[in-house]
Amino acid sequence: MRNLVVIRGAGDLASGVAHRLHQAGFPVIMTEIARPTVIRRAVAFAEAVYTGAITVEGVTARLVAGPEEALTKALQGEIAVLVDPPAGVITALRPQIVVDAILAKTNLGTSINLAPIVIALGPGFTAGRDVHAVVETRRGHYLGRVIWQGAALANTGIPGEVMGYTEERVLRAPANGIFKGCKAIGDPVTAGETVAMVDGVPIPARISGVLRGILHDELEVTRGMKVGDIDPRGERDYCFTISDKARAIAGGVLEAILHLTSSPENKLMLE
């Protein structure tokens, strides 16, 4: 399908990519799992799996039942979200562009022959072998860079620094069990305050700020799993707008697509 983009994953970074491509005129379909464990739900199109629809910065994504409905919605100007972990929609619709934005740090089944243009975000892929291009996702000098040969930088496991805080920003499950939040995204929190619980075990905030993201209630979590994120800057609006990181990565994806559809040397011109 000419210009059709299928994005695997619909978390906040994937959604930043989807938003930019939609604004640039591409019809977009996103695939997700049945119970997404997205933290920044206010800016993730994966939220449509739970609510039926979500609007992020003026762009609406809607949950659909199958490939045909997904294509219809995408061509009507909305982003279609489909529960389709193996991404069977790619075989059904044969899109021109596939973006792997699962961010699993390993390749979960994306190959360079899935579409004329295949792009992946972050580590786990080799450009020129697994995909046509990889976009750097690690914060720093190279964030958003398009890699044509080789792989992205390895994940450090350390959350990005905000006002001097890294791991302290993150809320993690203290035990295995069922998650329940006590605060909503955008709420102010103070250090020591209980933000959520796992089977009655409290999860206190380690710093003060605003709750930028938190899991859905009733999800099963494991000890140490990331379940929330506190922004020490205290700007509530940041909780409901696409992050600088997502925008940088989205710019890299758009650059890669435009290069691969317009450069004579790669012969991937749209027909």
19-58 per-position pLDDT tens digit: 999 999 999 999 999 999 999 999 999 999 999 999 999 9
Distance, in Å, from the CA atom of 125 to the CA atom of 141, rounded to the nearest integer, reads: 20
210-237 per-position pLDDT tens digit: 999 999 999 999 999 999 999 999 999 9
CA distances from 5 to 28, 31, 48, 70 (A): 5, 11, 18, 11
3-state DSSP assignment of residue 68? helix
Please give the CATH topology (third level) of the domain spanning 5-152+244-266.
Rossmann fold (3.40.50)
According to DSSP, residue 159 is labeled: P
**pLDDT of 165 above 50:** yes
User: Quick one: 139 exposed, middle or buried, by C-beta within 10 A (0-12, 13-18, 19+)?
Assistant: middle
Structure tokens at 155: 């994940």
Please name the residues in contact with 193: beta carbons below 8 A apart, sequence gap of 6 or more: 204, 205
pLDDT at residue 117 in the model = 96
CATH class of 167-232: mainly beta
pLDDT of residue 132: 97
Helix (H, G, I), strand (E, B) or coil at 90: helix
* Letter string b/e over residues 106-137, b meaning 16 or more CB atoms within 10 A of that residue's CB: ebeebebebbbbbbbbbbbbbbeebbbbbbbb
Q: What one-character DSSP code corresponds to residue 137?
A: -
Cβ–Cβ contacts within 10 Å for residue 31, how many? 25
d(CA 255, CA 263): 11
Distance CA 95, CA 267 (A): 17
Mean pLDDT for the stretch of residues 142-155: 96
pLDDT band for position 159 (cuts 50, 70, 90): confident
Q: What residue spans define the domains of the chain? A: 5-152+244-266, 167-232
Q: What percent of the chain has pLDDT over 70?
A: 96
Q: Which are the contacts of 151, defined by CB distance < 8 A and separation ≥ 6?
A: 123, 124, 125, 126, 127, 134
Residues 10, 45 contacting (CB under 8 angstroms):
yes
What radius of gyration, in Å, describes the C-alpha atoms of the chain?
19
Mean pLDDT of 133-141: 96
